[in-house]
Chain A
Amino acid sequence: MTPEELLEQVKQKFGDTVTESEVKGVEVRLTIKPEASWEACRFLRDAGFEYLNCLSGADWMTHLEVVYDLSSLRHPNKVHLRVPVDRANPVVRSVTDIWRAANWHERECYDLFGVRFDGHPDHRRILLPEDWVGFPLRKDYADERLVPYTDYGMEEKLPRPEAAPGAPKAAGPPKAAAPLPPTEP
């Protein structure tokens, strides 16, 4: 099955719930509404994508997103499935009953993003302690221990657009201080 044919089948079966779709090489990229995500995963598993490479999340400020990367051991096609979920009440149906690999991936996604997976058999935090407050990979998570990004002056060293003729020249680099007089031995 070519990626185009697969995309056509998914569109026929899931209709309006597929909000975005694209074929890039051997990869089909889909965005599906959360209410149809489990059925879509089931459909894709039965279509030959028996290997769940990765399940991760992303925080887009307006909404959270659960991302599934699927592939097969028998053909080179891949699927990149994105499911946007509500940020205030992020719930999506667990796919542990489709791929067991999802178990720890979903626990990690809950741990770091706070997405709840309905029907997960062991819904606990996995990397952080159980009494941890907050979900660290959300963009609004604040922790004073986190060292923020500094560019160490790299941005200033970038070439700037030429100044208009006649404009006052920018000040050059500061002159080196005069060398100290040699000290007496």
Chain B
Amino acid sequence: MEREKPIPIGTTAVMERTGETMEEMYVNMGPQHPSTHGVLRLLLKLDGEYIIDCVPFIGYLHRCHEKIGENRNYTQIIPYTDRLDYLASMSMNFGYVLTVERLMGVKVPERAEHMRVILAELQRIASHLLWLATFGLDLGNFTIFIYCFREREMVLDLFEAVSGQRLNYSFYRIGGMPMDFPDTWIDDCKAFLDWFKQRLPEYDALMGDNVLFQKRVQGVGAIDPKLAVDYGLSGPMIRSCGIRWDLRRNDPYSVYDRFEFEIPVFDTCDVWARYMVRRQEMAESARIVEQALAQLPAGDIMAKMPKNIRPPAGQVYCRTESPRGELGFYIISNGSVKPYRYKVRSPAYVNLSALPEMLKGCLVADVVAVLGSVDIVLGEIDR
């Protein structure tokens, strides 16, 4: 492959303004734009209504997460991981504590493992509900927004009953869980699942069966499956390219290998496929929660842990399936109370890097649909 000369460091040369045709135009979308769900700036290069190129600018929410992590001890980092992906805090906690446990070689009690799976899957439902709600809002369907928020609110009520928090839970601990479910929580959870499963056809009626919606998303923002692997896409983004890849099945962690669930796969590679994958994942998550509640064993919820957590010197890269894809934590320990190096591989960061590829050839009006389908959370992209 012919390699181009690298741009000198410190220059801002991004797109050469050729000025060859009169039609080329540069449009800034963001940083303050309602469809960017945070602070994201997209520089679009347009030819009339068509997008030729796109450069995302990120970092507006950067807060030195990794540097802060190197200056805190292992337990103190847990609340910071909440703020990474503030729409799926349970999943972030899960990934982090799993990494430290793998570094220390701790065996977590069975009941705690099941509790973790239950909460993480409920979190996946809540996160996908919020995605569906805001995605509908971006495309002009306000009704689905209200419907999805109603159910999401119920999940948040369940989380509040468990942890006392509605958004940033900090509920997982290294070695187990801090407290058990409250008395009637399991019945409440079952009642919610019964209610929720009957609501899924309603979402189909509002979104999936809507011809306007179908016309808006089918064939839009497609990416070639080979490119998707090359870009390292993960989660629903890669499953919408017809690749059956889910870390809960392909690299099982916790007790995921004990549950029966399908991995929804669609092979049209477009925004429609991403909608269908997430819509069906909600039903599969509900199935996992039901099985985990039925199998929930009695017993301890916390392993015997030292007061000061000092993992042995070593390094580990541990990946989990968050609602957005592969969430990886890379920790180097030198045997002290603080990590020597602490790195987060956030799924939305990698998924967003393929956005220019998906947008090429789209219309300006499709940017909102394609960006919405990536399901970004700027908190974890900018870290």
A residues neighboring B (CB under 8 Å):
50-54, 56, 58-59, 67, 69, 73, 76, 80, 97, 99-101, 103-105, 110, 112, 116, 118-130, 136-137, 146-149, 151, 154-155, 157-158
Contacts and interface: CB of A to CB of B under 8 A. Distances in A.
A129 B59 CA distance: 8
Contacts of B9: 110, 116, 123-124
Contact of B58 (A51, A123, A126, A158): A126
Given A104-B353, A154-B337, A157-B307, 10 more contacts: A53-B317, A53-B345, A54-B317, A56-B343, A119-B3, A122-B14, A124-B7, A128-B62, A130-B12, A137-B67
Interface of B: 1, 3-4, 6-7, 9-12, 14, 58-59, 62, 64, 66-68, 70-73, 227, 229-232, 243, 245, 250-251, 307-308, 317, 319, 326, 328, 330, 332, 337-338, 340-341, 343, 345, 349-350, 353-354, 382-383
A101 B330 contact: no
Given A123-B9, A128-B59, A146-B67, A54 B353 contact: no
17 contacts: A54-B317, A56-B345, A67-B330, A69-B328, A97-B1, A97-B3, A100-B227, A100-B232, A105-B350, A122-B7, A122-B14, A137-B70, A146-B64, A146-B68, A146-B71, A147-B68, A158-B308
A69 B330 contact: yes
Contact of A53 (B10, B231, B326, B383): B326
Contact of A149 (B12, B72, B383): B72
A50 B230 contact: yes
Contacts of A136: 64, 67
Nearest to B317: A69
B3 A101 contact: no
A136 B67 CA distance: 7
Nearest to A107: B353
A116 B71 CA distance: 26
Chain B contact residues: helix, strand, loop or mixed: loop
A148 B68 CA distance: 9
Contacts of B231: 100-101
Contacts of B349: 104
B336 to A, nearest CB: 10
A99 to B, nearest CB: 6
A106 to B, nearest CB: 11
Contacts of A54: 317, 328, 330, 343, 345
A147 to B, nearest CB: 7
Nearest to A138: B67
Contact of A99 (B7, B230, B308, B332): B230
A51 B229 contact: yes
Contacts of A120: 6
Contacts of B227: 100
A130 B338 CA distance: 30
Nearest to A54: B345
B62 A127 contact: yes
B187 to A, nearest CB: 39
A73 B245 contact: yes
A68 B326 CA distance: 16
B213 to A, nearest CB: 31
